[in-house]
Amino acid sequence: MADASMVGLMGRVTGTVGPGLVGEVIVRVRGGAEHFLAHPASAGDRIETGTVVMVVEHLPPRTVYVTAAYDS
Amino acid sequence: MPMVVGVVAGVAVAAVLVLIGLFKLMWRVAEPNEALIISGSKHRTEGIEEGMGFRIVTGRGTLVMPGVQAVRKLSLDLNETELQVDCVTHQGIPLKVRGVVIFKVGDDFVSIANAARRFLDQQKLMSERVHNVFAGHLRSIVGGLTVEEMIRDREKLTGQTRAACGTEMEKLGLIVDSLQIHEIEDPTGYIQNLAMPHAAAVQRDARIAQAEANRLATEAEQQSFARMAEATRDSEILQAGYQAERDKAAAEARQAGPLAEAGARQEVVVQETRVAELEAHRREQQLQADVRKPADAAAYETRTLAEADRDARISSAQAQAKETELAAAAEATRVKAAAGAEAEATKARGEAAAQATRATGAAEAAAAQARGLAEAEAAKAKGLAEAEAIKARAAALAENQEAVVAQQLAENWPEIVKAGASAFGNVDNMVLLNGADGMADMFAKALTMGGTGLGLARQLLASMDRDGQAAQGASSLNGQSRKVPVDDK
């Protein structure tokens, strides 16, 4: 089973992502939903809980860099 | 022959069985909650980059060469670790924190590989290792929080936990599903004191509510008792009423016998009374027949006789009256005729007398007229003569008034004295004091009164003189009327 690429997947913030914080996002992957430690893709962004985000970088094993999916 | 067939079949079956057994030995299936770590074959390393030396199979079966490859299982199940840590908060308050960490091996191949390399032989010890990691981290986490934040701000606690442990657990190929603080023991009573004002307020509200509820309950209870009493009273009243009705009915029932008896007796008495009445009636009838009828007959006889007698008398009286009436009428007629004759006679006589009287009257009137004329003539002549006399006297008066007056006084002196004496005429008995002087005095006074009358006459004459000169032209006509006042002087 190949490790599917995480980049481009959509997820939801379950712990605030921001500079100096270790955020958490939950992403649908491998037939289930798993949570990953998340950091903002562009430094200085703060993404509140509940925001829909897109994974732009995956650093194995469980760290992703995200950006808000919609301008809000 | 059949023997050979049987042997062949047996061998075939055995071969099939052997094949199945071999396949069973070589084919391994990974259950959903485990990962197969297969080492020993250089080729067919799936999912893992080179240099790893083993492959990971999850969720499916794979062929394993027994003796060549080794297969180990790594559980992907949830694990938990009890935490019991003495720590000090940001404010320096010592706390005993008891919590639980729930974690598992990550589902991606990197995590599985990391975990496999670290825990494959120590899966039972995984909890202990994690406990050690978390005990240290929890101290630092709690040290960065205040008690209030720990109690109230769970988001902050989880955020701090992720920040402190996330990356370390990543290294171990584990993921933390949750960290829960079960119990915070507080030896200094800080939390209790923190809660105390609120608890007191809540207690107060609770007591107020309790008291209110008690009051309401008591009110409701008392109302209910009052209602019950009311209902009891109503019921008793009703019962008493029904009892009274029952008693009444019973009494009536008891009285029914005597009543019926009395009724029967009354009936008997009524019947007896009726019998007595009938008896009396019969007796009355008998008496009527025996006594009254004969009496009536006698009375009728007497009455009839009396009536006949009376009628006879009336008829006789009527006859008498008629006779008298007729006689009276005859008398009246006669008297009326006589009266008529008398009236005629009287009328004739009256007319004759009237005729005579008229003739006499006419004659007397003629005589009176003649006499009146003669008298008038005489009076006229006398009046003229007197007028002449007065005229002459008036002339004389005009010439010498005093003389005329004196003469007149002298002529009339006796009269004057008489008039003065008339004052004494009515005196019955006069006593004169002062003797003869008194007498002279008295007379002098009386004469003075006459002298006073003389003066008055003189005045009158003087005025008359003036009038007489003014009225001399008319004296012939008024001579008669003028003479009278002078003459009366």
**Structure pTM?**
0.45
State residue B52's pLDDT score.
64
Residue A25 lies in a domain: yes
State residue B44's pLDDT score.
54
CATH no. for residue A64?
2.40.50.140
Q: At what angle do helices B293-399 and B435-470 cross, to 10 degrees?
A: 80
The angle at the Cα of B77, spanning B76 to B79, to the nearest 5 degrees, equals: 120
Pairing mode, if any, of strands A10-15 and A23-29?
Answer: antiparallel
Question: Measured between alpha carbons, how far is B158 from A66 in angstroms, rounded to an integer?
Answer: 20
Pairing mode, if any, of strands A63-68 and A32-40?
Answer: parallel
Q: How many CB atoms lie within 10 A of CB B104?
A: 20
State residue B358's pLDDT score.
93
CB-based contact B172:B115 (threshold 8 Å): yes
Shortest CA distance from B155: residue in chain A: A15
For residue A52, list its beta bridge partners: A12
pLDDT beyond 50 at B152: yes
Q: For residue B443, name the pLDDT band (cuts at 50, 70, 90).
A: confident
Q: ipTM for the complex?
A: 0.81
Q: Which of B44, B153, B170 to mutate to test the interface with A (most CBs of A within 10 A)?
A: B170
State residue B28's pLDDT score.
87
Farthest-apart Cα atoms in chain B, separation: 252
Pairing mode, if any, of strands B54-58 and A32-40?
Answer: unpaired
State residue B320's pLDDT score.
95
Residue A63 lies in a domain: yes
Q: Which residues on chain B place their C-beta less than 8 Å from a C-beta of chain A?
A: 46-47, 57-60, 106-111, 114, 155, 158-159, 162-163, 166-167, 170, 173, 175
3-state secondary structure of B385: helix
Contact B170 A63 (CB under 8 A): yes
Q: How many CB atoms lie within 10 A of CB B138?
A: 25
| Contact residues on chain B for A3, CB-CB shorter than 8 A | 47, 108-110
* For chain B, percent of residues with pLDDT exceeding 90: 42
CB-based contact B404:B393 (threshold 8 Å): yes
User: In this structure, what token pair is assigned to residue B309?
Assistant: 């007698």
State residue B91's pLDDT score.
87
CB-based contact B70:B50 (threshold 8 Å): no
| Contact residues on chain A for B114, CB-CB shorter than 8 A | 61
Residue A2 lies in a domain: no
Question: Measured between alpha carbons, how far is B275 from B263 in angstroms, rounded to an integer?
Answer: 18
Question: Measured between alpha carbons, how far is B412 from B489 in angstroms, rounded to an integer?
Answer: 9
pLDDT beyond 60 at B429: yes
What does pLDDT average to over chain B?
Answer: 85
Question: Measured between alpha carbons, how far is B485 from A70 in angstroms, rounded to an integer?
Answer: 171
Residue B127: name the closest of B162, B103, B149 by CA: B103
pLDDT beyond 70 at B133: yes
State residue B488's pLDDT score.
43
Ramachandran quadrant class, A30 (left: phi over 0; alpha: psi -120 to 50; beta: rest):
left
Q: For residue B453, name the pLDDT band (cuts at 50, 70, 90).
A: low
Q: For residue B150, name the pLDDT band (cuts at 50, 70, 90).
A: confident
| Contact residues on chain A for B59, CB-CB shorter than 8 A | 1
pLDDT beyond 60 at B475: no
Residue A47 lies in a domain: yes
Question: Measured between alpha carbons, how far is B268 from B392 in angstroms, rounded to an integer?
Answer: 149
State residue B48's pLDDT score.
53
Secondary structure of chain A: what % helix, strand, coil (to 5)? 0, 55, 45
| Contact residues on chain A for B46, CB-CB shorter than 8 A | 1-2
Shortest CA distance from A3: residue in chain B: B47
CB-based contact A23:A39 (threshold 8 Å): yes
Residue A53 lies in a domain: yes
Question: Measured between alpha carbons, how far is B480 from B478 in angstroms, rounded to an integer?
Answer: 5
The tally of domains found in chain A comes to 1
Q: Collect all residues with Cβ–Cβ distance below 8 Å to A59 and sequence separation of at least 6.
A: A65
Instruction: State how far the alpha carbon of B139 is from the alpha carbons of B95, B153, B161, B184, B251, in Å.
Output: 10, 17, 11, 13, 101
pLDDT beyond 60 at B456: yes
What DSSP assignment string belongs to A58-69? EETTTEEEEEES
Residue type at position B434: N
Contact A1 B107 (CB under 8 A): no
Q: How many Cβ pairs closer than 8 A exist between chain A and B?
A: 56
Q: How many CB atoms lie within 10 A of CB B119?
A: 20
pLDDT beyond 70 at B442: yes
Instruction: State how far the alpha carbon of B292 is from the alpha carbons of A61, B299, B302, B303, in Å.
Output: 160, 10, 15, 16
Residue A33 lies in a domain: yes
Contact A30 B107 (CB under 8 A): yes
- Can you list the domains of chain B with their CATH numbers? 4-72 (no CATH), 78-188 (3.30.479.30), 400-488 (no CATH)
Burial of B27 (0-12, 13-18, 19+ CB in 10 A): exposed
Extended beta strands in B59-187, E state: 61-63, 70-75, 79-88, 94-105, 174-185
CB-based contact A38:A68 (threshold 8 Å): no
Q: Which residues on chain A place their C-beta less than 8 Å from a C-beta of chain B?
A: 1-3, 15-16, 21-24, 30, 32, 34-35, 37, 60-63
Question: Measured between alpha carbons, how far is B39 from B36 in angstroms, rounded to an integer?
Answer: 10
Please confirm whether the linkage preceding A61 is cis (ω < 30° from 0). Answer: yes
pLDDT beyond 50 at B483: no
Contact A1 B109 (CB under 8 A): yes
Give the pLDDT confidence of B191-231 residue by residue, as tens digits. 888 889 999 999 999 999 999 999 999 999 999 999 999 99
DSSP assigned state of A49: T
Structural domain span for residue A63: 9-68
Residue A1 lies in a domain: no
Residue type at position B177: D
